[in-house]
C-alpha cells in the first residue's frame, strides 16, 4: 500500500510522524534507518491521510503548503536523482530540518536544487569525491561556480551575486546540519562567508538589499496596455453575453492586469482572491477599498490590500467569468466525497469560490486555479502582442511599477493613470505601517522605491548638464557640482553627491521641490531659500506662462491696473524660471501666440 492511500487515526499518526531532531534520530538518518511521516492531510473527521514518508524518494506536499500559483509539480521534492546513498541521506536530513524551520515549499525546492548541483559537481570531481566537504574542496567549488554562466533572454551572462550566494550558502547549511556525517570534514570557509565569497559585501550588499533589478513597465508600454485592457472591462456585459472564448480570455487577462497594477499584489495573492472579497470605507470624502486574500510569501493567513475601485470591478467580473467553473467544481467535489478521494476533496476545497478558476482539457476538464507560470509566460506577453509591443511583460514587474507610481504621486508626477492613482501617495504607507492586516513587505517596497526615486532626483541636481534654479540651496548645489577639488576630496562624483544629498529632505510643491525640514507653505520654490526647480517642472511653468499671457490680453478695463501689474510680475517670474531651465522663452511665446491664433481661426 502506498503512503498516499494510507488513512490513520490520530493515535496512529502520532506514533508514525517523523520525530523531532535528536541524537538517536540523527544516527538513524546517517545509517538510513530513519522512517516516518513527513507530509500529510488532516481530514475533517480528525483522521490523517499520509502523503509521503521520510524514507521515500519523492515527498508530496498538500496544496495548502504551496501558493495559489503553485502547479502540482511544484508541490513535490524529488530526491531520486541523487545517485550517491550518503548524499541523498544528507539532502533529506537538511531538507527535513529546514521544514521544521517553517520554510515554504519554494524555498525547500531551491535548497534541494543547490544541494543537488553541489553533489553533482562533487561526483564529477575526483578530488572532491575523495575528500568530502573540506575548506580545500569548498574553495575549488567556489572557483567552479565563478566560471558558470546563465542564458538570460538569449544573452550569456555570469551568475548574479545573489545566485552565487545561494549556491555557497547551501554548503554552510550542509555543514550546519550534517556535521555528524562522514562526508562533512570541516567548515567550508571558517574565516569567510557565503556573502563575502559571492561579493555581497559593502556597497554591493546594500544595493542588493535596496535596489530592485526588476524593471518598471515603461510609460510607452503601460499607457496602451491600460487603454486596451480598460476597453475590455468597459465592455464586460457584451463580452460575457457573446461567450466568445478569445474575447472572454482577454477579458479575464485584463482583469488580472488591473489587479496586479493597482494593488501591488504578487500573482499568487491575486490567484487567492475569492468572490466578493473586498470592503470599503470612507475617510475625508475619499473612499478606500480593501481586498482580502492570502499571502503565502510573508505568512499564512488573511491579509488586505488597499485598492482603487477599478480593482473591485475586476474582482466582480472574474467572479462572473468563473461561475460555470465553480458550479462544475461543486459537482466534482460531491463525486470526490462520495468516492472517499480525500486528496481530491482537499484540493477542490482549497480552490473553491476563487475567482481565477480554469479548466484543464489535458486532465479531463479538471477544475484548477490558473497557473501563475502560464500568466507570466503566456497570457501577459499576449497582452503586449495585442498592442504591438515586444516588451517582455511579467507579473513581478507590476509590484515595482505600482510602488513607483505611488511614489511619483507623492512627488507630484502622476505621469499616467491619474484617475486610478489619484488617492495614492507615500503618506498612505502609514496605513501599512500601523495595520498588521496589510502587506508589510509592500510597505517596505514603497519606502525602498521612494528612496530610489529621491536619490535619482537629487543626483540629477548635481549633474553639470542639468539646469536647476531656485533659492540659496539651488545656488549652493550649482557651485558645489563645479568644484573639481571637492570631487577629488570625496574620491568620486557619486561619493560627493551621496555625501551632500543624504541629509536633504525632499517633497513636491507641484511647481518645484521643497527641502525644508518643516512643512514650508510659501509655494515659491523658485525663490525660497529651500526651494529647487528642475526640468521635471517645466510643463507646469509653461502652463502658467500661457495663463499669464491670456490674462495680459484682457487689458486694464477687465482686470484693472493692479491686475495688470500682478500679471506682469507673474509673467516675469515664469520667464525667469524657464530661462534658467534652458528654454528660449521668446520662441516659446511666439509658438503660444501662433497656436492660439490657429485655435481662434478654427473656432
Per-residue pLDDT reduced to its tens digit, 250-263: 999 999 999 999 88
By C-alpha distance, which of 188, 187, 196 is closest to 161?
196
Q: Name the pLDDT band for 432 (thresholds 50, 70, 90).
A: very low
Cell triple for 361: 482539457
Cell triple for 600: 481662434
Q: Is 49 exposed, middle or buried (0-12, 13-18, 19+ CB in 10 A)?
A: buried
SS3 state at 548: helix
- Is the CB of residue 4 less than 8 Å from the CB of residue 49? yes
Cell triple for 144: 567552479
Strands 507-508 and 278-283: unpaired
Contacts of 407 (CB under 8 A, 6+ apart): 426, 446, 449, 450, 453
How much of the chain, in percent, has pLDDT values that exceed 70?
87
Radius of gyration of the CA atoms of the chain, in A: 31
Distance CA 383, CA 400 (A): 19
Q: Decide if pLDDT at 2 tops 60.
A: no
Is the backbone of residue 52 left (phi > 0), alpha (psi -120 to 50) or beta?
beta
Q: Decide if pLDDT at 435 tops 50.
A: no
Distance CA 215, CA 41 (A): 40
pTM: 0.63
By C-alpha distance, which of 383, 36, 14, 126 is closest to 231?
383
Q: Greatest CA separation found in the chain?
A: 102
Q: Decide if pLDDT at 203 tops 70.
A: no
Comparing 40-49, 110-119, 273-282, the range with the smallest average pLDDT is 40-49
Q: How many residues are present in the chain? A: 603
- Is the CB of residue 514 less than 8 Å from the CB of residue 471? no
Is the backbone of residue 453 left (phi > 0), alpha (psi -120 to 50) or beta?
alpha
Cell triple for 151: 542564458
Q: What is the pLDDT of residue 11?
A: 81
Q: What is the pLDDT of residue 1?
A: 39
Q: Is 351 exposed, middle or buried (0-12, 13-18, 19+ CB in 10 A)?
A: buried
Q: Decide if pLDDT at 247 tops 90.
A: yes
DSSP result, 11-50: HHHHHHBPPPP-HHHHHHHHHT----EEEEEE-TTS-EEE
Task: Compute CA distances 11 → 6, 8, 52, 368, 581, whole Å.
Answer: 14, 8, 18, 33, 79
Block residue for cell numbers 549652493: 476
SS3 state at 61: coil
Distance CA 413, CA 401 (A): 14
Bridge partner list, 357: 369
Query: What tens digit of pLDDT does each residue of 317-331 get?
Result: 999 999 999 999 999
Q: What is the pLDDT of residue 427?
A: 45
Distance CA 603, CA 601 (A): 5
CA 59 to chain centre: 29
Counts for the chain of helices (H) and strands (E), in that order:
28, 16
Q: What is the pLDDT of residue 213?
A: 64
State the DSSP H helix or E strand holding residue 333, giving kind and residue range, or none if neither. helix 323-338
Q: Decide if pLDDT at 55 tops 80.
A: yes
Q: Decide if pLDDT at 520 tops 70.
A: no
The stretch 302-324 carries a mean pLDDT of 91
Cell triple for 3: 503512503
Q: What is the pLDDT of residue 419?
A: 38
Comparing 129-138, 204-213, 347-356, 499-508, the range with the smallest average pLDDT is 204-213
List, in sequence order, the alpha helices (H) in 102-244. 105-123, 126-131, 135-145, 161-178, 194-198, 202-210, 219-234, 236-242
SS3 of 443-509: the string is HHHHHHHHHHHHHHHHHHHCCCCCCCEECHHHHHHHHHCCCHHHHHHHCCHHHHHHHHHCCCCCEEC
The stretch 223-234 carries a mean pLDDT of 96
The phi and psi torsions of 122 (rounded to 5 degrees) equal: -60, -45
Choice between 445 and 567, residue whose per-residue pLDDT is larger: 567
Q: Name the pLDDT band for 429 (thresholds 50, 70, 90).
A: very low
Distance CA 148, CA 365 (A): 42
Distance CA 406, CA 219 (A): 15
Q: What is the pLDDT of residue 207?
A: 56
Task: Please name each of the domains of the chain with its CATH number.
Answer: 219-433 (1.10.443), 439-602 (no CATH)
Contacts of 473 (CB under 8 A, 6+ apart): 504, 515, 529, 530, 531, 532
The four Cα atoms 153, 155, 161, 163 give a dihedral, to 10 degrees, of: 50
Q: What is the pLDDT of residue 458?
A: 85
First-to-last C-alpha distance (Å) of the chain:
86
Distance CA 367, CA 352 (A): 10
Q: What is the pLDDT of residue 185?
A: 94
The stretch 494-516 carries a mean pLDDT of 80
Distance CA 553, CA 556 (A): 9
The listed range with the strongest mean pLDDT (57-66, 284-293, 378-387, 417-426) is 378-387
The stretch 229-251 carries a mean pLDDT of 94
Query: What tens digit of pLDDT does each residue of 383-419 get?
Result: 999 999 999 998 989 988 887 777 666 554 433 333 3
Choice between 495 and 146, residue whose per-residue pLDDT is larger: 146
Q: Name the pLDDT band for 284 (thresholds 50, 70, 90).
A: confident
Task: Compute CA distances 573 → 370, 469, 473, 545, 590, whole Å.
Answer: 57, 12, 19, 9, 18
Q: Decide if pLDDT at 523 tops 50.
A: yes
Distance CA 466, CA 393 (A): 32
Distance CA 545, CA 212 (A): 39
Choice between 343 and 149, residue whose per-residue pLDDT is larger: 149
Contacts of 400 (CB under 8 A, 6+ apart): 212, 214, 215, 216, 445, 449
Q: Decide if pLDDT at 48 tops 80.
A: yes
CA 410 to chain centre: 20
- Is the CB of residue 433 less than 8 Å from the CB of residue 443? yes
SS3 state at 303: strand
Q: Chain-wide mean pLDDT for the chain? A: 84
Amino acid at each position: 500500500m502506498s503512503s498516499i492511500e494510507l488513512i490513520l487515526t490520530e493515535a496512529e499518526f502520532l506514533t508514525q510522524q517523523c520525530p523531532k531532531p535528536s541524537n538517536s534520530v540523527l544516527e538513524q538518518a546517517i545509517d538510513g534507518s530513519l522512517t516516518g511521516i513527513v507530509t500529510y492531510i488532516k481530514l475533517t473527521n480528525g483522521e490523517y491521510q499520509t502523503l509521503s514518508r521520510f524514507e521515500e524518494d519523492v515527498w508530496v506536499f498538500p496544496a495548502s503548503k504551496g501558493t495559489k500559483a503553485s502547479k502540482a509539480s511544484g508541490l513535490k521534492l524529488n530526491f531520486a536523482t541523487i545517485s550517491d546513498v550518503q548524499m541523498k541521506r544528507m539532502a533529506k536530513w537538511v531538507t527535513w530540518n529546514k521544514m521544521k524551520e517553517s520554510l515554504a515549499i519554494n524555498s525547500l525546492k531551491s535548497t534541494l536544487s543547490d544541494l543537488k548541483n553541489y553533489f553533482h559537481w562533487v561526483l564529477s570531481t575526483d578530488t572532491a569525491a575523495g575528500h568530502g566537504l573540506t575548506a580545500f574542496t569548498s574553495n575549488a567549488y567556489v572557483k567552479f561556480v565563478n566560471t558558470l554562466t546563465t542564458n538570460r533572454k538569449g544573452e550569456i551572462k555570469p551568475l548574479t551575486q545573489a545566485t552565487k550566494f545561494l549556491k555557497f550558502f547551501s554548503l554552510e547549511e550542509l555543514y550546519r546540519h550534517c556535521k555528524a556525517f562522514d562526508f562533512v570534514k570541516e567548515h567550508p570557509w571558517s574565516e569567510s562567508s557565503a556573502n563575502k565569497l559571492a561579493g555581497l559585501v559593502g556597497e554591493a550588499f546594500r544595493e542588493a538589499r535596496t535596489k530592485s533589478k526588476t524593471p518598471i513597465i515603461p510609460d510607452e508600454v503601460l499607457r496602451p496596455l491600460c487603454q486596451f485592457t480598460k476597453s475590455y472591462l468597459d465592455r464586460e456585459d457584451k463580452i460575457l453575453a457573446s461567450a466568445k472564448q478569445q474575447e472572454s480570455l482577454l477579458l479575464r487577462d485584463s482583469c488580472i492586469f488591473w489587479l496586479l497594477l493597482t494593488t501591488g499584489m504578487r500573482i499568487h495573492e491575486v490567484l487567492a482572491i475569492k468572490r466578493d472579497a473586498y470592503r470599503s470605507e470612507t475617510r475625508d470624502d475619499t473612499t478606500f477599498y480593501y481586498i482580502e486574500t492570502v499571502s503565502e510569501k510573508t505568512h499564512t493567513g488573511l491579509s488586505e490590500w488597499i485598492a482603487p475601485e477599478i480593482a473591485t470591478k475586476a474582482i466582480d467580473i472574474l467572479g462572473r467569468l468563473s461561475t460555470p467553473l465553480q458550479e462544475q467544481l461543486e459537482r466534482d467535489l460531491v463525486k470526490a466525497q462520495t468516492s472517499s478521494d480525500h486528496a481530491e476533496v482537499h484540493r477542490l476545497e482549497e480552490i473553491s469560490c476563487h475567482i481565477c478558476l480554469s479548466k484543464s482539457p489535458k486532465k479531463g476538464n479538471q477544475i484548477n486555479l490558473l497557473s501563475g507560470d502560464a500568466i507570466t509566460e503566456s497570457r501577459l506577453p499576449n497582452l503586449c502582442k495585442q498592442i504591438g509591443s515586444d516588451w517582455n511583460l511579467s507579473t513581478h514587474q507590476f509590484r515595482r511599477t505600482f510602488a513607483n507610481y505611488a511614489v511619483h504621486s507623492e512627488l507630484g508626477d502622476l505621469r499616467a493613470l491619474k484617475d486610478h492613482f489619484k488617492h495614492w501617495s507615500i503618506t498612505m504607507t502609514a496605513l501599512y505601517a500601523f495595520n498588521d492586516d496589510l502587506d508589510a513587505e509592500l510597505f517596505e517596497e514603497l519606502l525602498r522605491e521612494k528612496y530610489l526615486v529621491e536619490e535619482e532626483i537629487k543626483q540629477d541636481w548635481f549633474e553639470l548638464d542639468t539646469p536647476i534654479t531656485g533659492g540659496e540651496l539651488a545656488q549652493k548645489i550649482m557651485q558645489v557640482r563645479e568644484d573639481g577639488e571637492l570631487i577629488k576630496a570625496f574620491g568620486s562624483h557619486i561619493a560627493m553627491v551621496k555625501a551632500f544629498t543624504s541629509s536633504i529632505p525632499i517633497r513636491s510643491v507641484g511647481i518645484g521641490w521643497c527641502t525644508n525640514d518643516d512643512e514650508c507653505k510659501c509655494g515659491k520654490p523658485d525663490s525660497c531659500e529651500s526651494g529647487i526647480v528642475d526640468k521635471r517642472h517645466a510643463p507646469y511653468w509653461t502652463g502658467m506662462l500661457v495663463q499669464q499671457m491670456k490674462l495680459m490680453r484682457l487689458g486694464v478695463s477687465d482686470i484693472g491696473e493692479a491686475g495688470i501689474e500682478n500679471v506682469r510680475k507673474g509673467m516675469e517670474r515664469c520667464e525667469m524660471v524657464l530661462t534658467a531651465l534652458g528654454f528660449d522663452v521668446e520662441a516659446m511665446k511666439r509658438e503660444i501666440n501662433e497656436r492660439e491664433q490657429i485655435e481662434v481661426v478654427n473656432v
